[in-house]
Structure formats: C-alpha cells, structure tokens
C-alpha cells in the first residue's frame, strides 16, 4: 500500500512538473514570439532624415515633420536638434533638396499632388520668420504644367544653375541658365532637334550633346564652336552616357554596352582624336559598371563601384579608402554610404545601414577620425531590431533555363517551411532592380508572417545587356515566367504553402500582379496591384509628352501598336483582355493624379471585373500620383492591404489604426458600383 501511494505521489509530481514545464514554455513562447509591429514604424514619418552638411560644415539641414509632412529644417552644427528651425511648410512631400555651393541657398523640387509637374524652389537658410511661421520660399520656375530638371549646379558661380524646361514644347526640354538670387532665366539652347542630353565639363563648359531619333538610336556629338561633330552612336537596345572628365577636360569618361560589350564598361574617350580606351569593367565579370565617384578638389577618381548581391567599391584614392575601411571596422556587418560632404571634403555625414537594422547617421571628421552619432531616422524601429528579418540572396532557373537572381526574406522565428508567401515585384521594368538592404515593405510583410520573394526578372538592370534586352516583347510571357518559376522554386524547396501565395507590386509590379492573376489564375491566392497598367494600348496612348524621346524604347519593350504584329502582342499581354480568367480576389490601389499610369488603367480593370462579378476592391487617393507619398495615405493603404492579405492567406494584421488613418481609408475606399470608364476610341 505504501508502495502504491509512493507511485501515485511520483506520478502526481511528474504530472505537476509537466504542467509547470508547459506553462513555462507557453510563457516563454508568448514572451519571445515576434510581436505585431505597428505599421507606423514602417510607413510613418521618420523623426529625422536626409541630413546634409552646409558647404562650410557650420550648419546641418535635415528633413523633419512640419504639420504632418516632412519639411526642411536647419540648425548650427553644434546645436541640439531640438533647437532647429523649420525652413519650409510644404503640404506635399519633396523630391529632394541640396545646398548651393556657397551655402547661401537651399534648393528643392516638388510637384502638386503627384502630378510630376515639377518646379524648383529656393529658400535662404539664414532667414528668420515670425513665430510659428517659416521663411518665404521662392519658386524659381513659376510655370504651370512643366517639368523642371536640374542639369548642373555651378561651383564656379554658385548663384547659377543650368536647368531644363519643357515650357515651349511639352515633349522636349530647352536648356536655360537660372540665376538663383533673382530667378532670371536665360535660354542657352532651344531644343528643336530631339536633344536628350547636355554634358558640361569641369570648367562648366557645354561640351557634349546627345540626340535620340524616332527609332531610338542615340548619337553623341562634341561641340566645336557653332558646329556639332558626331563621336558615338548607340541603338535602341544599347546604352552610353558621359559620367565624368579627366582633370584637364581633354577626355571624357563614358559608360557603354555598345556592340560586343555585354556588361556595361567604363571607357575613356579623347575628344580630339576620338580614341577610346577601356578603363575597367566588373573584375568578377558578373554585373554592369555601377558608378564613378570623383573629387571636386582634385578632379581625380575616388572609386568605382559594382552591385551584384551587394555593392563592392574599388578605391583609387587612398585617403577615401582609409576612411571607408576605418568606418567599416567600427560597424562590422553593416553597409555604409557617404551621404554628405563639406566643400573641403574633410567632414562627412555617413549613413550606416543593413537589411535588418534601423539606419543611423554619423558625423565623421576625415583628419581627426572623430565619429559622432547625429541621428537615428526611426529610433522606435531601432528598439525592435531583434524582430527584423534578414534578406538573403537567392537564384533559380526560369522556364527557358535563364538564371533569375532575387532576394528572399523569411519571418523571424519561422523554420522557413510551408509559409504563406508574397511575391513582391519591382517596377520599371527595364533598368530598375531590387537591391539588398532594409526595405520597409519587406519587413512589414515579414512581420505579418509572410515569406517575401523579390525576383529580379529579365529586363532588370545591372546584369548585362543580354539580360536587360531579354525582356523585350516578353511582357506577360517570359518576364512573367521568371516570376512564376520563382513561385515554383519556393514550393519545390518546401518554403511556400502552394495554396497561400500572393503577388503584389507597384507600376510594372502592378502589371505583373494583374498578369499573374489573369495568365496563371490557379497559381496565386490573391493579388495587390499598386498603380499598375491593365491595358497596354491606353498606357502607350497616355504617357507624358516629355517621354516622347523614349517612345521607340517603349515599343521595343511591348510592341508597336501601329503594326499588326505589335497590336497582337499588346492585346495578348494586356491583362484587361483576359479579365474573365481572373478568379482570385484583387485589391487595386491608384493615385488620381498619376501621369505615368493614369487612373483609367485601374478604372478599366475594376469595371471589367465588377461587371463579371469578380471579387475586386479599389483604393483611389485624390492627392497622390505614381505611388503614395503622404504618410496618412500610406498608412491607410497598408492597413487595408494587410487586412486583405490576412483574410485570404491567414497572416497576422494590426486591427487598430489612428483616427485620421481610419478616416482617410474611408475617404479613399471606392464604391466600385459607381466606377465608370468611357474609352476614347470606341
């Protein structure tokens, strides 16, 4: 009996220990499980961003929220950031800013509600303003419905810039000299002959013009007094551009992939003899020439760079190389980039970043090696870095055996098996590519429990001319296969749950989403199309006038609508004409002012799917263009996106949202029963 009692006691203790162990394990799981991170960490305004040193290093400018929008602020370098003054009160996020070479002005560009009608503005960084006000900014190009482009910012005369304006002819840009202090514009070159490039040497003398004909061929000319002499020519399937000059201005650095060159290569052309010398191409023979960095002080090359999975630098300036290696030693496992420099190149702002790290920006003194943290753009994200996921390089074969590179991100805490997956397709399509590093979209989706594949499909840039041109006339065909075979790769590796794969992307990525649902209707569980074209005919009819020089380039990609064969290709590749095959839920997101992929592209597919009783939802922002830039719109868009994905794929989503985001989501959510589309040519 005693023995029986002891056995029962032992069993009770054993069961109790199991219970305690299970409770502890459960508590540990709850404590260590990846939390749902607030979407504002990814898509809200950063606290500070875009820092730049003044030319003399005595001041620092940066972007910070002012009335809900990122605006330009300035402070003395040795002052705390809390003492900074706002310089602008733009209601629209800016597209960039910089200091004039003498530090008298800060210049910036912006459009109206995403219409890409860009003007150039100037503000005095030393100007004062009334309390709760900002200094007055001057519009230096006060013209309506134009797109101003900055060609050159003078160092010889810091009050001057060379700008391009399409005020006379919407399709072509004339060259103007712009006096910053007065806004005076002086026409330098009236472009009546399809000029697409103006290149100035170190002494700011106009030396080279490029012209592109109706077939897409580009001829480069050197300027000899009043005459132009041809020196180089490329076809529509080749590329060449000037990227710098030797210190004496006698020779120009060209980057070209002409003729037998597959990987773009750095060349040197003697403009007197026209002799061309190869300087270098990728030492690993894998990718295109990336970039040439030169010193404004010595006019000599600092470094060249190439981007494969990551970027590699080859240094020619020992001082810059020493600084780079010193900084690398301070931040092992991170990438770094020189973000800003004083005129004497002795003081720098350096950005430190990585795939699963919140960026940091440091001040670095080249001479003393002093290193001071200036700011962390997203400090709240910094506090949860342990929940950010690593991005890994992958590759797989497409339907025709072509090797497709890309990046794969697996959620933190996952074993990487049988996961719901988002195929995230980049825009372009010809030329752009996805790169390694922190990506807010990717981290947001991974945090919600999805594996994310970013395929650099054929036509993506950086992998050589053959890879780039392999996408020509392959919209919806081999280019789409590159994405489809990415899904098959993930399924074969056991990473993807074949029933829980979604496709998502913006611009061409939006097109690929529509094409994926229309041409491979069983492959995806759903799709999110962000400003994607549905009808290539209407896309080509509505491109901005100032893209006229690239029309042959577009036709080479998708087909010429003026030919029978071209029409056939375009109709086959346009998802709109296969909308009856779409059987999975679709979320469409569009900016009403988009000049590239107009609202009609989304309206058409919404109407077609609605009338066929398909499941389609539609967000339309009246104050956005080609993609959303205002934080409240971004937050609303991603709130709806994550809910949409969670309901279909079973991922997690953040249910709550700030009141202003909820209101905005209601405002941009379209009642699809009221969407109409009237074709121009019935």
Catalytic residues, by residue number, are 507, 594, 626
Look-up: residue for tokens 């081999």? 478
Q: Which residues pair with 422 in a beta bridge?
A: 452, 502
Alpha carbon distance 14, 173 (integer Å) = 83
DSSP 531: S
Q: Reading across the β-sheet that carries 49-53, which strands appear in turn?
A: 49-53, 59-66, 69-76, 85-86
What are 535's two structure tokens? Answer: 């009808």
Residues in the chain: 682
CA 249 to chain centre: 33
Task: Label each residue of 27-52 as H, E or C.
Answer: HHHHHHCCCCCCCHHHHCCCCCEEEE
Rounded Cα–Cα distance for residues 668 and 635 (Å): 12
Q: Which one, of 625, 618, 309, lies nearest residue 437 by Cα?
A: 309
Which class for 277: exposed (0-12), middle (13-18), buried (19 or more C-beta within 10 A)?
exposed
Residue 442's SS3 state is helix
Instruction: Compute the C-alpha angle 408/412/415, nearest 5°.
Output: 80
The Cα 121–Cα 306 span in angstroms is 34
Q: How far apart are CA 138 and CA 126, in angstroms?
A: 15
Residue 316 per-residue DSSP state: -
Rounded to 10°, the helix 508-519/478-492 angle is: 70
C-alpha closest to that of 262 among 283, 285, 278: 285
Q: Is the separation of the CB atoms in 518 and 584 below 8 Å?
A: no
Do 119 and 142 contact (CB within 8 A), yes or no? yes
Rounded CA separation 58/199 (Å):
32
d(CA 380, CA 393): 27
Read off the DSSP letter of residue 521.
T
Measured torsion, CA atoms of residues 676, 680, 681, 682, in degrees rounded to the nearest 10: 20
Q: Phi/psi class of residue 531: alpha, beta or left (left: φ > 0; alpha: ψ in -120 to 50)?
A: left
How far, rounded to the nearest angstrom, does the alpha carbon of residue 649 sit from its chain's CA centroid? 27
Neighbour tally for 650: CB within 10 Å: 14
Phi/psi-derived region of residue 136, left when phi > 0, alpha when psi is between -120 and 50, beta in every other case: beta
Token pair listed for 437: 């590093």
- Specify the 3-state DSSP secondary structure of 497: strand
| Structure tokens belonging to residue 38 | 């607030």
Beta-carbon count within 10 A of 508 CB = 26
SS3 of 611-645: the string is HCCCCEEEEEECCCECECCCHHHHHHHHHHHHHHH
Q: Are 280 and 294 in contact (CB under 8 A)?
A: no
Across 213-317, the runs of DSSP E, i.e. the strands, are 218-224, 227-234, 240-245, 251-256, 265-270, 276-280, 291-294, 301-307, 311-315
First CA to last CA distance, the chain: 96
Residue pair 682/656 in contact (Cβ under 8 Å)? The answer is: no
């Amino acid at each position: 009996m005693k023995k029986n009692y002891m056995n029962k006691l032992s069993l009770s203790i054993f069961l109790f220990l199991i219970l305690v162990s299970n409770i502890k394990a459960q508590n540990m799981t709850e404590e260590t499980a990846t939390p749902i991170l607030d979407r504002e960490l990814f898509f809200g305004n950063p606290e500070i961003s875009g820092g730049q040193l003044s030319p003399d290093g005595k001041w620092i400018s940066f972007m910070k929220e002012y009335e809900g929008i990122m605006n330009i602020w300035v402070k003395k370098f040795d002052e705390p950031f809390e003492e900074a003054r706002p310089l602008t009160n733009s209601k629209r996020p800016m597209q960039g800013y910089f200091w004039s070479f003498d530090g008298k002005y800060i210049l910036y560009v912006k459009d109206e509600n995403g219409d890409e009608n860009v003007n150039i503005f100037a503000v005095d960084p030393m100007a004062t303003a009334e309390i709760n006000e900002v200094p007055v900014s001057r519009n230096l190009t006060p013209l309506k419905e134009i797109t101003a482009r900055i060609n050159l910012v003078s160092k010889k005369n810091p009050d001057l810039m060379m700008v391009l304006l399409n005020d006379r002819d919407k399709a072509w840009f004339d060259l103007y000299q712009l006096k910053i202090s007065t806004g005076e514009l002086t026409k330098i070159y009236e472009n009546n002959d399809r000029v697409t490039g103006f290149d100035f040497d170190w002494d700011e003398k106009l030396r080279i013009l490029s012209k592109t004909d109706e077939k897409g061929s580009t001829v480069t000319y050197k300027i000899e007094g009043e005459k132009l002499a041809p020196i180089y020519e490329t076809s529509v399937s080749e590329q060449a551009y000037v990227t710098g000059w030797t210190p004496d201005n006698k020779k120009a650095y060209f980057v070209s992939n002409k003729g037998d060159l597959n990987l773009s290569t750095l060349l040197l052309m003697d403009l007197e003899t026209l002799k061309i010398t190869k300087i270098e191409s990728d030492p690993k023979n894998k990718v295109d020439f990336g970039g040439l960095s030169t010193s404004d002080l010595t006019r000599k090359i600092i470094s060249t760079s190439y981007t494969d999975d990551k970027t590699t630098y080859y240094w020619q300036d020992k001082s810059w190389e020493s600084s780079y290696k010193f900084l690398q030693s301070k931040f092992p496992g991170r990438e770094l980039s020189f973000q800003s420099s004083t005129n004497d190149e002795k003081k720098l702002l350096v950005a430190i970043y990585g795939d699963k790290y919140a960026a940091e920006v440091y001040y670095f003194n080249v001479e003393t090696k002093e290193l001071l943290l200036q700011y962390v753009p997203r400090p709240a994200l910094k506090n949860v870095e342990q929940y950010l996921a690593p991005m890994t390089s992958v590759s797989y074969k497409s339907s025709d055996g072509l090797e497709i590179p890309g990046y794969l991100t697996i959620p933190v805490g996952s074993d990487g098996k049988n996961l719901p997956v988002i195929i995230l397709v980049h825009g372009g399509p010809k030329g752009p590519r996805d790169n390694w590093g922190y990506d807010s979209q990717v981290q947001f989706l991974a945090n919600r429990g999805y594996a994310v594949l970013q395929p650099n499909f054929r036509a993506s840039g950086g992998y050589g001319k053959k890879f780039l041109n392999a996408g020509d006339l392959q919209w919806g065909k081999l280019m789409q296969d590159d994405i489809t075979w990415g899904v098959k790769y993930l399924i074969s590796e056991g990473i993807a749950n074949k029933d829980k794969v979604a496709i998502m992307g913006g611009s061409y990525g939006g097109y690929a989403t529509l094409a994926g649902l229309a041409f491979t209707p069983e492959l995806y569980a759903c799709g999110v199309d962000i400003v994607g074209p549905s009808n290539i005919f209407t896309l080509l009819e509505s491109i901005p006038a100032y893209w006229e020089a690239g029309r042959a380039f577009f036709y080479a990609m998708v087909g010429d609508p003026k030919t029978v064969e071209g029409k056939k290709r375009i109709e086959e590749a346009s998802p709109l004409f296969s909308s009856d095959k779409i059987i999975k839920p679709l979320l469409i997101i569009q900016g009403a002012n988009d000049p590239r992929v107009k609202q009609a592209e989304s309206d058409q597919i919404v109407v077609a799917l609605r009338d066929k009783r398909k499941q389609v939802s539609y967000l339309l922002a009246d104050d956005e263009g080609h993609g959303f830039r205002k934080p409240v719109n971004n937050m609303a868009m991603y709130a709806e996106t994550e809910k949409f994905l969670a309901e279909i794929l079973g991922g997690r989503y953040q249910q709550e949202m700030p009141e202003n985001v909820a209101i905005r989501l209601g405002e941009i959510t379209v009642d699809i029963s009221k969407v109409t589309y009237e074709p121009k040519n019935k």
